[in-house]
Amino acid sequence: MAMGMNEPAGAAAKTPGVVTTAFIMSILGFVCGIPAVIGLILGIVGRPKAKAAGSGVGLATAAIVISAAWLAIGLIGTVAVMASGGNSSDTAASETASATEAPVASEAPAPSSAAAVATESAVAESSESPSPSPEAVASEVATPEATEAASPVVVFEDGDWIVGSDFPAGTYTLIDEPSFCYWGIYEAGTNQENIIANDNVTGGHPTVVLKEGQEFTSSDCGAWATDIPAALATEFGDGVWKVGRDLKPGTYTLIDEPSACYWGIYKSGSNSQKIIANDNVNGGHPTVVIKKGMDFASNDCGTWASSIPAALATEFGDGVWTVGRDIKPGKYRLTEAVIGNCYWGIYKSGSNGQNILSNDIVDSGRPFVTLKKATDFASSDCGSWAPM
């Protein structure tokens, strides 16, 4: 009788190696945080494998719990140490501050005799040597209160100067009226090649605004100063004048008829760079209206006055004329036919030639115009006008 063979019993389930490693790392987590981190990761990775193998699920769970606990303890400890360290540093800083408060000022030692001798020698040398040309000049010996309230006047003469090094930046005015003066403002370090502003001046009291680092040259001008006394004139000649300091604001008329006259109105402080109005005039009695905050320049014009006697003409030539003061209102026509180009213009009086009411350029015939009071009439290369 044949005997049947027994089937072998099933083999025991084996725990995955990653689970075992995770548990070991979690135990070593008390040494530092790195093994605990490794144990936590391996425990999370190995738990599904242990479940599939049917063994080591509990070991993987224990690795995860232990590693997480070590990490939590380490985090809490780190926060506590940092907090205590901050408090201790604040305390130390407070103690240091309290220890350094109210230092006792020691008296300055008296200068040695050698230093005193050197000081006296330097004072003597400085009193003997001449002071530089640009300097602060006080017009009177002031009391301490007046010295604190008023700034000293800075004066310098002709020459080449560096603003900010030789004298302070600011606004400077020529004290005397020059017969022929040249001034120029240049960018520093350009050997006077890069011109910012310049002018040739005959008469008046030109004003310049100089900035730190600029170079300034003055030739045959005289002395420049930060302040000169006001002398408001109502009659003046050629030159550059500041309205409100040299001239009274108002309306001015050229007394004599010029042969070739240039006048210009500029914004004060622009070094004659910002033109408000200007004109070249040949004949007539041009009129300008100047206001405070302006500079007025006149070249080869003659004398300007706030009022001149009326001389109402009925026949006149080229120039600029004010109707009702120089010429009678009415209708006028050229006495002869135009040869070349004739320009005529009618402007509102007091607009400095900016408000044009009517104008024309004519190259033939005998044009005619109707002129009314409160207007200015300009004629250039036209000839003589006479009533119609």
216 pLDDT band, cuts 50/70/90, is very high
CA–CA distance, 75 with 82 (Å, rounded to integer): 11
Q: Phi then psi for 64, rounded to 5 degrees?
A: -65, -45
Helix (H, G, I), strand (E, B) or coil at 39: helix
User: Is 275 a residue whose pLDDT tops 70?
Assistant: yes
pLDDT on residue 280: 94
Question: Residues 296-305: pLDDT tens digits?
Answer: 999 999 999 9
Q: State what percent of residues in the chain have pLDDT above 70.
A: 77
Angle among Cα 362, 366, 372 to the nearest 5 degrees reads 85
18 pLDDT band, cuts 50/70/90, is confident
The structure tokens 């400095």 sit at 352
8 A C-beta contact, residue 187 and residue 196 = yes
- Concatenating the DSSP letter of every residue in 309-344 gives ----BSSB-SEEEEBTTTB-SEEEEESS---S-EEE
- Give the other-Cβ count within 10 Å of 40's Cβ: 23
Question: Residues 331-374: pLDDT tens digits?
Answer: 999 999 999 999 999 999 989 889 999 999 999 999 999 999 88
Q: How far apart, in Å, are the Cα atoms of 192 and each of 57, 148, 198, 207, 241?
A: 93, 38, 11, 20, 26
171 or 74: which carries more pLDDT confidence? Answer: 171
pLDDT on residue 234: 84
Residue type at position 191: N
pLDDT on residue 32: 67
313 pLDDT band, cuts 50/70/90, is confident
255 pLDDT band, cuts 50/70/90, is confident
Question: Residues 54-107: pLDDT tens digits?
Answer: 777 787 788 788 877 777 787 787 777 777 655 544 444 444 444 344 343 334
Question: Residues 136-154: pLDDT tens digits?
Answer: 443 333 333 333 445 678 8
pLDDT on residue 31: 66
| Cβ density class 321-341: b for 16+ within 10 Å, e for less | bbbbbbbeeeebebeeebeee
Angle among Cα 323, 324, 328 to the nearest 5 degrees reads 80
CA torsion sign, 231 to 237 to 238 to 244? positive
333 or 271: which carries more pLDDT confidence? Answer: 333
Measured in residues, the chain has a length of 388
What DSSP designation does 138 have?
-
8 A C-beta contact, residue 282 and residue 275 = no
The least confident of 33-37, 186-190, 317-321, 331-335 is 33-37
249 or 25: which carries more pLDDT confidence? Answer: 249
- Relative to beta strand 207-210, strand 170-174 is antiparallel
